[in-house]
Chains A and B, each alone.
Chain A
């Protein structure tokens, strides 16, 4: 698999696109401030909104990506593409080493949201990678040809709580 990422990242006038879908560049201050605002205001519902928004956008984004790359056919190469797209978008490193159609484990040793949260707010008492959880659920639904909401992703260990890495458990919802 050889994706020319800079070619996928395009400016058309004042709009930015990644693989034909409109994107925006935002920094950790905004991303984590939004997360904190939603969590503080809505509690668990706020966390769920972050998860679902991420799941829906990653589902749409990855679907579009694969449509443009029909040569990417195997599960293994799709997982590899998901991992590299996460990295290209500045979201961090994600490893799909133990995953299958019934779920499994996903590990992230580094992420934008963890680095940003720790820099901005310091250590958390509970796991806080709602964006990554939703993102994983969305891309796995595409890769295994399932609907949105098919997979449930929980975070078992989180670097925001100063764990060594973020560990996500994927199950069928």
Chain B
């Protein structure tokens, strides 16, 4: 069965309109928030600028994205919404990646596409209009390196979740690089996750 991205996006859009009495959005096993991308970009790039060691700051931001992808999609995978809406579409492990990416699109993270999956070995995701790349260019101009720390981490987190040794120990078994980024002037952003070198 083909993955119906529109159906997944519609489920997220409808579900994200649910508020419980505490003003919180419980959806897909996690608590969701709607926050301006300006906020996320300000704290990511602000942190990078303030840190003594920019490389270390970059790593921490990627790690935050990776843990986000790993824990968020673990919660999503174990939710009743996933069982009801998404599971009927899934035939292979790799189908799950396409569904995860559909949810990421629904979350407003960018126009994402699974470019290549080699089971257990490699995942390549490409993105247009990542809010991180756009936000960086708007605030600072063209970058000299990739700036999509969250999406880079999420790409590795998806591999951890599907091909790692088991939740919750398998986070960071994979690592991702951003090989192209629109913030640098590339035509799209590209993330490649492979087994981490320990």
Contact B105 A18 (CB under 8 A): no
Residues of chain A within 8 A (CB-CB) of B25 are: 90, 112
CB distance from A15 to the nearest CB of B (A): 6
**Residue interface bits B126-167, CB-to-A below 8 A is 1, else 0:** 001101000000000000000000100000000000000000
Residues of chain A within 8 A (CB-CB) of B105 are: 14
The segment from B15-23, B86-94, B116-124, B173-181 that touches chain A is: B15-23
- Give the nearest-CB partner of A5 in chain B: B17
Cβ contacts A to B, 17 pairs, < 8 Å:
A21-B36, A21-B38, A23-B108, A25-B33, A26-B40, A28-B33, A34-B44, A37-B47, A49-B46, A49-B47, A53-B42, A57-B35, A57-B39, A91-B33, A92-B22, A112-B23, A115-B24
Contact A29 B39 (CB under 8 A): no
Residues in chain A within 8 A of chain B (CB atoms): 5-6, 9, 11, 13-16, 18, 21-31, 33-34, 37-38, 41-42, 45-46, 49-50, 52-54, 56-58, 60-61, 86-93, 109-112, 115-116, 119
Take A34-B64, A41-B60 as given contacts and tell me if A86 and B23 are in contact as well, using a CB distance cutoff of 8 Å: yes
Tell me what chain A mostly uses at the interface: helix, strand, loop, or mixed: helix
CB of B107 closer than 8 Å to a CB of A:
yes
Contact B40 A93 (CB under 8 A): no
Q: How many residues belonging to B are interface residues under a CB distance threshold of 8 Å?
A: 51
Contact B33 A112 (CB under 8 A): yes
Take A24-B37, A90-B33 as given contacts and tell me if A14 and B110 are in contact as well, using a CB distance cutoff of 8 Å: yes
Q: Cα distance A16–B106 when bound, in Å?
A: 8
Contact A110 B150 (CB under 8 A): no
Contact B68 A26 (CB under 8 A): yes
Q: Cα distance A87–B38 when bound, in Å?
A: 19
Contact B72 A29 (CB under 8 A): yes
Contact B60 A22 (CB under 8 A): no
Q: Cα distance A2–B129 when bound, in Å?
A: 33
Contact B68 A14 (CB under 8 A): no
Contact A24 B72 (CB under 8 A): no
Residues of chain B within 8 A (CB-CB) of A61 are: 36
Q: Cα distance A29–B9 when bound, in Å?
A: 21
Beta-carbon contacts under 8 Å, B66-120 to A:
67-68, 71-72, 75, 105-112
- Give the nearest-CB partner of B12 in chain A: A25
Q: Which 4 A-B pairs rank lowest in CB-CB distance, beginning with the nearest? A: A16-B108, A90-B25, A110-B22, A27-B30
Q: Cα distance A9–B34 when bound, in Å?
A: 10
Contact A46 B33 (CB under 8 A): no
Take A42-B50, A110-B22 as given contacts and tell me if A27 and B68 are in contact as well, using a CB distance cutoff of 8 Å: yes
Q: Cα distance A56–B43 when bound, in Å?
A: 11
